[in-house]
Amino acid sequence: MNTSHGTNRVVVAGAGPVGAVCGLALSRMGVPVTVLEADPSPVQDQRAASIHPSTLEMLDEFGLVERIRDRGLRSSVYRFHDRPTGEVVAEFDLGRLKDETPFPYVLQFEQYKLTAAIVEEYANDSDFDMRFSHTVTSLTETDRGVEVECSTPTGTERMRAAYVVGCDGGRSTVRKLAGIKFEGFTYPERFIKIATSFDFKTVKSNLSLRNYFSDPAEWANVFKVRGEAPEGLWRVILPIGSDEEESVALSEERVEQRLQKFFPKAGAYHVEYAKVYGVSQRVAATFRRGRILLAGDSAHVNNPIGGMGMNGGIHDAINVAGKIAAVIAGSSGESVLDLYSRQRRHAAVNYVQAQTIANKRLLEERDPAVRRRNLDDLRRTADDADAARAYMRRAALFDSLRDADAIT
């Protein structure tokens, strides 16, 4: 790429985990980068918290795993439960992949902590510039790059970029400014996430750190994170009907009722936080339009069952950073950016979307015969060593990376 009349700097919109990793990767590859974040500081977003083995391998190349590993919870085992009977249907142990990956576990580490770790350790030098309270408002592509306009607390600021990577979430301004369609659907029901400091293992000893409960009446995800206190937090994700008002769902009485139904105990629960959110399954029509590219939730959103959204987004970030760096260095032509779009869109559609949709259907299945067959299949898979390893490879997104890399 001829940059004598332009700039090599890349602008990343959004300083969540995907934007922060993208900025770090570009910087480490010798590309100057500015990350623009609308919020005034790293947001304590309580959504994603599971970093899969495939993602840990990528983060390790940038020295991140060593910095965060002991600050999270390592979970090698995850379990599927039949909620009506209390039975553990299947257990999957990532330790079975110890000969295939140096990280045979999931690291439970909240996404806001990952962003904060990157900001603390790496950001704010001349080649990795993170600017908070900067909201992208306009993008104009020229033959010299992209003219970026953003609003700041002191007024309008303009800068020029060789490329812009939109990592600014499911409602991405960058995606909208680029005119890229966001194809898919939104679930009629919403999800509620409740966090409590109460130790569920005192009332249910067969819990692992990550648990999926199948129930035709009310499925659930239950997993533990370290939170901000020594005892950690248990997070419970449950569906709520489209007819239940958010204010009702978030009321003390309704939150307590949901927790007591799940794990009855004497006395009230201490609830750290509760949040209701809508959930969609959508993928951008393309991940590239000219010099504007998309990664993470800007490019694809999905339900949280299986913890694949943030992981797939980080895979996007590192893929696109490598390809942009190659174009700027002159070792690849710009067509490699179309390859990025093909590879990562394939991974989003065929793995992240397909697996998360299948996970939700498994947990919420209402037909007794289908439900019994699904749980029996899952049990047989877990009991067969080869089948279990294959299942875990797919769930940990190793297969998605392999298949995406094969696309030319």
> What HEC string does 288-310 produce?
EECCEEECHHHCEECCCCCCCHH
In sequence order, the β-bridge partners of residue 240 are 190
CB 12 within 8 A of CB 146: no
Interhelix angle 53-60/398-405, rounded to 10 degrees, is 60
Sign of the torsion formed by the C-alpha atoms of 9, 12, 16 and 17: negative
Confidence band, pLDDT 50/70/90 cuts, at residue 373: very high
193-205: pLDDT as tens digits:
999 999 998 888 8
CATH topology of domain 10-73+108-184+281-366: FAD/NAD(P)-binding domain (3.50.50)
Which residue from 333, 331, 348, 352 is spatially nearest to 407, judged by alpha carbons?
A: 348
19-39: pLDDT as tens digits:
999 999 999 999 999 999 999
Helix/strand/coil for 199:
coil
- CB proximity list for 93: less than 8 A, separation 6 or greater: 76, 77, 388
- Cα–Cα distance measured from residue 250 to residue 190, given in angstroms and rounded to the nearest whole number: 12
pLDDT at residue number 6: 56
Two tokens at 358?
Answer: 């299948």
Asked if the model's pLDDT at residue 81 lies above 60, the reply is yes
Q: Strands 190-196 and 50-51: what pairing?
A: unpaired
CB 77 within 8 A of CB 94: yes
Q: Strands 288-289 and 292-294: what pairing?
A: antiparallel
pLDDT at residue number 212: 96
Q: What is the mean pLDDT of residues 162-175?
A: 97
192-243: pLDDT as tens digits:
999 999 999 888 889 999 999 999 999 999 999 998 887 899 999 999 988 9
- CB proximity list for 331: less than 8 A, separation 6 or greater: none
306-356: pLDDT as tens digits:
888 999 999 999 999 999 999 999 999 999 999 999 999 999 999 899 999
Helix/strand/coil for 34:
strand
Asked if the model's pLDDT at residue 2 lies above 70, the reply is no
Tokens 């899952």: give the residue: 378
- Indicate the average pLDDT of the chain: 93
Strands, sheet with 128-132, edge to edge from the N-terminal-most edge strand: 128-132, 33-37, 10-13, 163-166, 292-294, 288-289
Two tokens at 11?
Answer: 């602008």
Phi first, then psi: what are they for 119, rounded to 5°?
A: -60, -45
Q: What is the mean pLDDT of residues 122-149?
A: 91
**DSSP labels for 356-408?**
HHHHHHHHH---HHHHHHHHHHHHHHHHSHHHHHHHHHHHTTHHHHHHHHT--
Phi first, then psi: what are they for 159, rounded to 5°?
A: -150, 160
Two tokens at 49?
Answer: 């918290």
CA angle 76, 78, 82 (to 5 degrees): 165
Sequence spans of domains, the chain: 10-73+108-184+281-366
Q: What is the mean pLDDT of residues 393-402?
A: 95
Helix (H) or strand (E) run with residue 262 in it: helix 252-262
Two tokens at 80?
Answer: 């599927």
Q: In 306-367, which ranges are continuous DSSP H helix? A: 309-329, 335-347, 354-364
pLDDT at residue number 71: 93
Half-sphere exposure of 54 (CA within 13 A, CB side): 21
Per-position b or e across 126-156, b if 16+ CB within 10 A of its CB: eebbbbbebebeebebeeebbebebeeeeee
**Percentage with pLDDT > 70 across the chain:** 98
3-16: pLDDT as tens digits:
333 589 999 999 99
Q: Strands 190-196 and 233-240: what pairing?
A: antiparallel
- Cα–Cα distance measured from residue 162 to residue 143, given in angstroms and rounded to the nearest whole number: 10
